[in-house]
Amino acid sequence: MVPFDFTYHRPSSIEEAVRLFERLHKQGKTPLYYGGGTEIITLSRLNLAFADAVIDIKHIPECCVLRIEQNELTLGAALSLTSIEEANPFPLLTKTASEVADRTARNQITLGGNVCGQIFYRETVLPLLLADCHVVIAGKDGLKQRSIHEVFQQRMRLEHGEFLVQVKIDLSYVSLPHAHTKRRKQGKVGYPLVTVAAIKKDERLHVAFSGVCPFPFRSKTVEEQLNARHLPIETRISRALQYLPKPILNDTEGSVEYRLFVLMNALSDILIPLEEG
Amino acid sequence: MIGKSVIRKEAWDKVTGRAKYTHDYFEVGMLHAKLVTSPYAHARIREIHTEKAGSVPGVRAIVTGEGLPLTGEDLRDRPPIAFDKVRYHGEVVAVVVADTLVQAEKAANLIHVAYEPLPSVGSPREALQEGAPLIHENLANYQKGKYSYPEPGTNIAHRTKIRKGNMEKGWAESDVVIEASFAFAPSDHAALEIRCATAEIRQDGTIVIIASSQAPFMIKRLIGEYFGEDVGKVIVHTPLVGGAYGGKAPVQLELLAYLASKAVGGRKVSVWNTREQDMITSPVHIGMEATVKIGCTADGYIKAAEILFLFDGGAYSDKAIDVTRAAAVDCTGPYHIENVWCDSLCVYTNHPYASPFRSFGHCEQAFAIERTIDLLAEKLNIDKLELRMKNAIRPGHTTPTQVVLNRSNVGNLPACIARLRELIQWDEWQRIEINSRTVRAKGVSCGWKTSTIDTDASSGAILTFNPDGSVNLISGVVEIGTGTKTVLAQILSEKLKMDIDDIHVKMDIDTQTTPEHWKTVSSRGTFMAGRAVLSAADDAIRQLKAIAACVLRASAEDLEVGYGKVFLRDDPSIYVPIKDIVYGYKYPNGNAIGGQLIGRGHYILRHLTPLDKETGAGKPGPEWTVCAHAVEIEFDKRDYTYQIIKAASVIDIGKVLNRRAALGQVMGAMSMGLSFASRETFLFDRYERILNAQLRTYRPIRFGEHPEYMVEFIETPQIDAPYGARGVGEHGLIGMPAALANALSVAAEVPLNELPLFPELIWRTKEGKQYGSI
Amino acid sequence: MIKCEILLTVNEESHSIIARQADTLLFVLRNQLGLTGAKPGCLNGDCGACTVLVDKTPIKSCMMLAIEAAEKPITTIEGLCDTPIQRAFIEQFAFQCGYCTPGFLINAYALTKQHPDADDETIQEWLESNICRCTSYQEIEQAVKSVLAKKHEND
Ligand SMILES: Cc1cc2nc3c(=O)[nH]c(=O)nc-3n(C[C@H](O)[C@H](O)[C@H](O)COP(=O)(O)OP(=O)(O)OC[C@H]3O[C@@H](n4cnc5c(N)ncnc54)[C@H](O)[C@@H]3O)c2cc1C
Ligand code: FES
Ligand code: FES
């Protein structure tokens, strides 16, 4: 139950969506781009989100593409997580996505919504960070393509009125050796205590995290430590953990100390085979 | 018919979406209420500003707590809407009534309450400390029931004492003594159907309530008592209930619905919790702290038990008093112990207030007792099942409240233990290392339970007939999912020798036309309502025979009823069809005799007595169902994670009335027990605010996390029960938390005395670390 | 305008209703169309009691706007008629209070249709979306597997 009213808009092109946003904004409204709507609806209930207009981007053709062309995988931001899992163009993304929420919810949750959402886990961004992908963003001045590292720092840094249209992944990444693990407080469904995803490229490990800090991240310094191959893995891990971008979370999923414990095990579990493999 | 897995009467309605629950009765013109609740666990209410909210279009009334009577079943300590101060996070401070739910919500968001936070109390032990903030300053002046013993000037709402035998003698006879402490915080029932109630007050003063409740007859009574309404003018409807597990036994939202309707001139108002409110605003599953000390001889005979249960009753006592009493009544577990000292306290804290939870205080106390028994076995170096077998309660023994047991009023625990031993291949192994990281372990436990219900609780049944000779069965048992009404139909079908399809069951309750069944709690539905149905059947049979005697010109004694007929015992070819006599018999010439046939029956529990205040002596319930349980887990020694592989229960059910239904009840209860033990708890911050009042963060067990269930029944009839059947709706749950904790303690090689058993808890216990702020 | 006309096709019948644009599909199905089979259990996407099919895909109707589902075929529990999965739920005692049942059935129905060969992992992946508080899940597992097994017999 959304305890306030909004208008619903369903543009069929990128330009129309951006124009709509501008127009609504000029009218003094608070519009939101609308993907799966799962977060907008659930946070609205709790008065943690507000909009008086929503712009559904699921009917914009560019947002729904799933295409491999010229060594590049393009994923529309409005694709549902299950549709990506089923097509399986990027196995690490499939793995990561398939551990988010539950399957029925993932029929609705979109890639763009998960990456751009407020709920801070944003797990599907991990493979995107690891694959050094590019994002296509629509805004007032048309489309622009940027490296994900430029726009995703802790969260998507979009300008007012911008939205994520697509992500583009260099095909050479999708078949790289990879690993993923999601550890929960208990059970098989639920938010992560920690999620770690990694790929190996040119003998170097790329590693990204969710649930460790109140945002997902991939950190150069952490990776440097983890790749200091002359040291034993345990040493590398404990050194790496000194370079986390923020102190480890302490919340209802788990305490700092326990998260640290779980994180160290998770890291050695996925890094050792990846390194050796 | 008895023992057959008859499918439930409402089965097709439930698989086609036609089954209706309270919130499915939507009516145009009905108003909607939204509850405004406290963000603090303990605070003084300075001011409530409702002006802004009142001006939202569609708002019809805003109700606050001033001038309302105090409520509570055993002790009147709770204002239906908080007044002056709030005592738990989530407590209702105002109710907004509007044309639509959206308007009510909009307005509720605009109500501003000024609070002055007070220091809060976060556990029973904290509450009992000297200088702890008093949650009820006025405890001395509350109206109370005859058998509630609040201790003014403290946070103790009630204390049950059990004093049996001679403790000094018991300790003197003991070679080995073990003592341990246990704890878990409150949690939730999380029935999938959120609690909901509507109320309407008609022009003539008739109050009509529709409620998702286990106690429609109690709602009627209490609205009469609390608000001085004529009890005859209160009509409560209860359609199907979407899960309850004890959580819908207390009367709470119904009072708000009544007050809301009153505030809008009697118009129909629906009060519907959000899931978040359902978890914390409405009553919850009780928390507990306990210390158990047991002494026994070197060869394993228990001689003394000293037990302290400190129940976290939360901010108000309501049904918690009863729960804590029930735990005391069976405090020793199903063991023969001659010398017993037990204090069971219902303690006030600034937590949500507690209500019954399936097993009514028993899975809680069994956790403490059965863990201690395991510790004792380890200390004695005796096999854990052997120790339980040695001390198993048997006919001739007495219970903690000094009831003498016989072959009928207690089941056969030794048989349950023996069967369990085989079923789980206990003697083959109890702990094995699969590899350097993985270990498998088994844990066992036993349980027993009687139903501590009001000594004058009764149940009634009415049978009416249709022109085709089929029967309508009307009983006050609420269909909360237990399938009791189908079992009642089976009992009737057996008795009348009638096809089960010819027995039509009235599913919903209407207190105006349905005979009363005290409350649908405590696994007592089949026993009490079953007896009432049998007595109604006897009444109907007597009447059938009387008319048939005239028609057939035979003595009633020579007649039998069955197969849709009344027939001569020695010559069944001479008969009259039931359908020809249930609306009077009409002779060929048009004359008629008899008339509409109505069978009436009732049952009242016999010889129950309240407990003595000082010793606890008394007869609290009719019989003790006993059970033995086991859980097998696979534990990862490095990660402290585990999987539940198997769970087993052997229960002395007396007599199986409907096999699949009974299995379902037991397995469902086991699942709930494992879920509670492994993952369910409210998480509080240091101000005692709840941090996980959502199913997103409070996560019950899900599909695929379930173990393999093994359930078997022993059948030792309870002589005065219908076909000998014992109550069984809760027993699957009783030993699950303890068995899981016992298995994990063995696997992790560390005593685990807290719940729930999150891997983090095991890790902390093993590493000897203290809990952080959360 | 905040309220608007929405065309919904539910169980092969089309309906034109007037609703708030912010109203969820669950709310509209229940309060406007009287289809109370889909149940509110949390309104937060967590329990699955409100599951319906939109375009043959299981969706938690508490998290979808009615207007989003306009012109797409919607199937609710009321649209299932004497299907094997309904019968299996009855035969296997796969429900007690029945509150989770509409959501579970819709999800299980879609699963058995779309994955007649579903293995344990797939069954779990689909069905862990729904919470049942009464049964042990073992009964539900048996019901689903019995339907899958029958599908194979018929092949
Ligand atoms: C039951 C359940 C369990 C969950 N468990 C997890 C979990 O384990 N891990 C996890 O990571 N998440 C989890 N989530 C949270 C989930 O991540 C969010 O609800 C979801 O990602 C939002 O996706 P959506 O497509 O529905 O987004 P929406 O609700 O449509 O949008 C979310 C936000 O993103 C914005 N947005 C959407 N699309 C775009 C776009 N293309 N460009 C710019 N902005 C956009 C919206 O304006 C809005 O602010 C869970 C959710 C549910 C319901
Ligand atoms: S009501 Fe929709 S998932 Fe719970
Ligand atoms: S049958 Fe009651 S919740 Fe599933």
C103 and C134 in one domain? yes
The CA C104 to ligand 1 mean position distance, Å, reads 24
CA of B668 from ligand 3 middle (Å) equals: 9
Same domain, A92 and A143: yes
Return the CATH number at A84: 3.30.465.10
Q: Which atom of ligand 3 is nearest to the CA of B243?
A: 2
Q: Closest Cα partner for B133 from B326, B349, B296, B367?
A: B349
pLDDT of residue B524: 76
Other C-beta atoms closer than 10 Å to the C-beta of C145 total 16
Q: Which amino acid is it at B314?
A: G
Q: Are residues C47 and C8 in the same domain?
A: yes
Judgement on whether residues A227 and A270 belong to the same structural domain of the protein: yes
A55 bridge partner residues: A9, A33
| A182 shares a domain with A260 | yes
The pTM score is 0.97
Q: Evaluate: CB of A101 within 6 angstroms of ligand 1.
A: yes
Domain boundary among A104, A139, A173: A173
B274: which chain C residues are within 8 Å (Cβ-Cβ)?
A: 43
Give the tokens for residue A219: 């950190």
Please check whether residues C103 and C45 belong to one and the same domain.
no
In a domain, A2, yes or no: no
The CATH code of the domain that includes A19 is 3.30.43.10
The residue assigned the tokens 């009791």 is B484
Q: Which residue in the block uniquely carries the two structure tokens 């890291």?
A: A267
Residue B773: predicted pLDDT: 36
By the 8 A CB rule, do B257 and B269 touch? yes
Six token digits for residue B255: 């009072």
Query: What distance in angstroms lies between residue C60's CA and the mean position of ligand 3's atoms?
Result: 17
Same domain, A125 and A152: yes
* All residues at 6 or more sequence positions from C68 whose CB lies less than 8 Å from its CB, including other chains: A8, A37, A56, A58, C25
| Residue closest to B135 by CA, chosen among B77, B50, B188 | B77
Contacts with B55 (C-beta within 8 Å, 6 or more apart), sequence order: none
Where is average pLDDT lowest: B154-168, B601-615, B747-761? B601-615
Q: Alpha-carbon distance A111 to A109, whole Å?
A: 7
Contact assessment for residue B483 and residue B490, using Cβ atoms and an 8 Å cutoff: no
**Per residue in B550-559, pLDDT tens?**
999 999 999 9
Residue A120 Cα to ligand 2 middle (Å): 21
pLDDT at B772: 42
Strand partners, B3: B658
Name the band, by pLDDT with cuts 50, 70 and 90, for residue B522. low
CA–centroid distance, residue B697 to ligand 1 (Å): 16
Whether the Cβ atoms of residue B601 and residue B709 lie closer than 8 Å to each other: no
**Residue to substitute in A38, A110, A135 for testing ligand 1 pocket (most ligand atoms within 8 angstroms of CB):** A38
Q: What separation in angstroms does the CA of C70 have from each of B40, B594, C6, C64?
A: 42, 61, 6, 11
B760, A252: Cβ pair inside 8 Å? no
The rounded Cα B589 to chain-centroid distance in angstroms is 57
Q: For B208-241, how does the pLDDT look when each residue is reduced to its tens digit (9 = 90+)? A: 999 999 999 999 999 999 999 999 999 999 999 9
H or E element, residue B609: none
Using pLDDT thresholds of 50, 70 and 90, give the confidence band for residue B684: very high
Comparing CB atoms, the residue among C86, C93, C101 nearest residue B664 is C93
- Please compute the mean of the pLDDT values over residues A202-222 and round it to a whole number: 97
B243/C133 CB distance under 8 A: yes
Within 8 A by CB and 6+ apart from A235, the residues are none
User: Does some domain include residue A30?
Assistant: yes
Q: Where on the phi/psi map is residue B417: left (φ > 0), alpha (ψ -120 to 50), or beta?
A: alpha
d(Cα B31, Cα B29) in Å, to the nearest integer? 6
**Structure tokens, B571:** 């010559």
Based on the fold, state whether residues C58 and C109 are members of the same structural domain. Answer: no
A30 and A102 in a single domain? The answer is: no
- Cα torsion angle, C81, C85, C90, C91, sign: positive
What is the pLDDT, as a whole number, of residue B741?
Answer: 98
Answer whether A98 sits within 8 Å of C125, measured CB to CB: yes
Overall domain count for chain A: 3
User: In terms of domains, do C35 and C75 share one?
Assistant: yes
Please indicate, yes or no, whether residues A69 and A50 belong to a single structural domain of this protein: no
CB of A104 within 8 Å of a chain B CB? The answer is: no
Query: Any bridge partners for residue B241, and if so which?
Result: none
What percent of chain B is predicted at pLDDT more than 70?
99
pLDDT beneath 50: ranges in chain C: 1
Q: Which residues contact B299 (CB under 8 A, 6 or more apart)?
A: none
The share of chain B scoring above pLDDT 90, in percent, equals: 94
pLDDT in tens, B371-418: 999 999 999 999 999 999 999 999 999 999 999 999 999 999 999 999
**Shared-domain flag, residues A104 and A167:** yes
What are the C-alpha distances in Å from A114 to residues A80, A145, A179, C142? Answer: 10, 19, 20, 34
**Boundary-marking domain end, from C50, C79, C108:** C79
Among the candidates A140, A173, A206, a domain finishes at A173
Is the domain of A184 the same as that of A169? Answer: no
Domain boundary among C17, C52, C79: C79
Q: Which of B660, B663, B621, B654 is nearest to B725 (CA)?
A: B654
Q: Return the CATH number at C61.
A: 3.10.20.30
Q: Over the stretch A43-94, which tens digit does the pLDDT of each residue have? A: 999 999 999 999 999 999 999 999 999 999 999 999 999 999 999 999 999 9
Choosing from C23, C44, C79, the residue where a domain stops is C79
B447 and B731 Cβ atoms separated by less than 8 Å: yes
**B725, B530 contact by CB (below 8 A):** yes
Q: What's the average model confidence in pLDDT over B532-554?
A: 96
A1 in a structural domain: no
DSSP count for chain A of H helices, then E strands? 12, 14
Mutation choice for ligand 3 from C90, C101, C107, CB with most ligand atoms inside 8 A: C101
Question: Going along B558-676, which residue ranges are E strands?
Answer: 559-562, 565-568, 571-577, 583-586, 592-596, 598-604, 625-636, 642-652
- Predicted confidence at residue C44, as pLDDT, reads 98
* Cβ partners under 8 Å of residue A105, min gap 6: A38, C45, C60, C63, C129
- Report d(CA B397, CA C127) in Å as an integer: 48
Smallest CA–CA separation between A53 and chain C, in Å?
A: 9
First vs last C-alpha separation in chain A: 50
Do C111 and C54 fall within a single domain? no
Q: Which of A175, A184, A194 has the alpha carbon at shortest distance from A237?
A: A194
Query: Which C residues in the span 70-109 are in contact with B, Cβ-Cβ below 8 Å?
Result: 76-78, 80-81, 86, 89-91, 93, 95-102, 105
Q: Which of residues 14-53 of C touch B (CB under 8 A)?
A: 20, 30-31, 34-47, 49
Residues C72 and C88 in one domain: no
Cα C102 to Cα C85: distance, rounded to the nearest angstrom: 11
* Domain co-membership, C70 together with C91: no
Residue B771: is its pLDDT beyond 60? no
**Residue-by-residue DSSP string for B565-590:** EEEETTEEEEEEEGGGTBEEEE-TTS
Domain CATH code at residue A240: 3.30.390.50
- Residue C141 sits in a domain whose CATH number is 1.10.150.120
All domains in chain B, ordered by first residue = 11-118+195-272 (3.90.1170.50), 284-453+609-767 (3.30.365.10), 458-604 (3.30.365.10)
Same domain, C91 and C107: yes
What average pLDDT does range A199-210 have in this prediction? 96
Tell me which residue range forms the domain holding A33. Answer: 7-56
Q: Strand, coil or helix: what is B52?
A: helix
Instruction: Indicate whether A35 belongs to any domain.
Output: yes
Task: Residue C60: name the closest of C73, C47, C70, C71 by CA.
Answer: C47
Contact C137 B696 (CB under 8 A): no
Domain count, chain C: 2
Distances (CA, A) of A179 to A122, A149, A237: 18, 21, 16
Position A206 in a domain = yes
pLDDT tens digits for range A116-173? 999 999 999 999 999 999 999 999 999 999 999 999 999 999 999 999 999 999 999 9
Instruction: Note whether A209 and A250 are same-domain residues.
Output: yes
Kindly state whether residues C63 and C109 are assigned to the same domain. no
Residue of C nearest to B658 (CA): C93
Q: Which chains touch C (3 or more CB pairs under 8 A)?
A: A, B
How confident is the model at residue B80, as a pLDDT?
A: 98
Based on the fold, state whether residues A69 and A148 are members of the same structural domain.
yes
Note whether C64 and C90 are same-domain residues: no
Strand partners, B449: B625
pLDDT(B770) > 70: no
DSSP C34-49: ----S--S-SSSSS-T
pLDDT of residue C150: 86
* Same-domain check for residues C69 and C88: no
- Domain of residue C18 covers 3-79
Q: Which of A274, A169, A173 is nearest to A226 (CA)?
A: A274
Classify each residue of C16-46 as buried b or exposed e, where b means 16 or more C-beta atoms within 10 Å of its C-beta. Answer: ebebbbbbbbbbbbbbbbebbbbbbbbbbbb
- Considering A122, A139, A173, which residue would you say is the last residue of a domain? A173
Residue B523's pLDDT band (cuts 50, 70, 90):
low
Average pLDDT over residues B59-68: 97
